[in-house]
Amino acid sequence: MKSLKKDLLKEEFKVVEIFRTIEGEGRWVGLPVVFIRLEGCNLRCSWCDTTYSYDGKSYTVKNLYDILSQVKQYNLKRVCITGGEPFMTENLDVLVKVLLDEGFYVFIETNGTMWNEKFREIKKDNLYITCSPKPPFYFVNKNILPYISELKFVVDENLSVNHIIKPEFTEILKNDIIVLQPESNKPEMVEKALKIQDELLKLGIESRIIPQCHKVLGLP
């Protein structure tokens, strides 16, 4: 951090929590990671399990120096920025760029509805963006599409194959980066995920069914 400008280290963020756990969802599942949960979300999903991330009172304002200091205490190389919706944080690009410059692999979990133009200036190396489109429209901002590393769909009562094979997802679907995540690990949603997986196979599309593994292990 010695090489970072003092003004940059003073950049402030609304942080709900920073903690060490394993990645419980998607293709990074099982890997040790430091979570940075930022405050705020533009959606209100009925099954959201982190409503405290947007209640407007569960956050602490931290500057970049304090965030980096806390992250480095865990001595890990992977950082996941989540929420809520992290792209609601206007200076998210600053946090991401600094983490990348400090040698971390950075993983962002987003619903895909928002965008930050300054991300065009960030190199994609070591930056992994998981987009989890949300019901009822499963809308994804066209500007973020080229940056998506993984599509993850929560399998709930709303999800259908048509939500997955939308034209704007065509290029991503070609790369076999589709994750089906049964809502809250419910048995009936596991069954539905298997059916959707079979429907996708008939279209020549492979997908992975991955539950919320951190919950299976009793981890945050």
**pLDDT tens sequence across 54-98:** 999 999 999 999 999 999 999 999 999 999 999 999 999 999 999
Percent of the chain with pLDDT over 90: 88
Alpha helix segments (H runs only) across 58-175: 64-72, 92-101, 161-164, 170-173
Q: What is the pLDDT of the chain when averaged over all its residues? A: 94
The percent helix, strand, coil of the chain (3-state, each to 5) is 35, 25, 40
Instruction: Please give the structure tokens belonging to residue 214.
Output: 């951190």
Q: At 1, is the pLDDT very low, low, confident or very high (cuts 50, 70, 90)?
A: low
pLDDT of residue 10: 85
Tokens of 183: 């809502």
pLDDT band at 48 (very low <50, low <70, confident <90, very high): very high
The least confident of 48-57, 90-99, 103-112, 170-179 is 170-179
Residue 206 has pLDDT above 80, yes or no: yes
> 39-43, 60-64, 101-105, 176-180: lowest mean pLDDT where?
176-180
* Interval 194-211 mean pLDDT: 96
Q: Which two tokens stand for residue 169?
A: 């997802």
Asked whether 93 and 71 are in contact (CB, 8 A), the reply is no
Higher pLDDT, 220 or 207: 207
pLDDT at residue 119, as a whole number: 97
**Architecture in CATH for domain 6-216:** Alpha-Beta Barrel (3.20)
pLDDT at 169: 95
pLDDT of residue 122: 95
pTM of the complete model: 0.94
Between CA 218 and CA 220 the distance in angstroms is: 7
Residues 116 and 98: beta-carbon distance below 8 Å: no
* pLDDT for residue 133 is more than 70: yes
DSSP for residue 162: H
To which H or E segment does residue 14 belong? strand 12-22
pLDDT band at 110 (very low <50, low <70, confident <90, very high): very high
Q: Report whether pLDDT(154) > 60.
A: yes
Joined tokens for residue 53: 């991330």
Residues 147 and 122 sit within 8 Å (Cβ to Cβ): no
Give the helix/strand (H/E) hosting 190.
Answer: helix 187-202
pLDDT at 78: 98
**CA 57, 61, 64: angle at the middle one, nearest 5?**
150
Is the pLDDT at 45 greater than 80? The verdict is yes
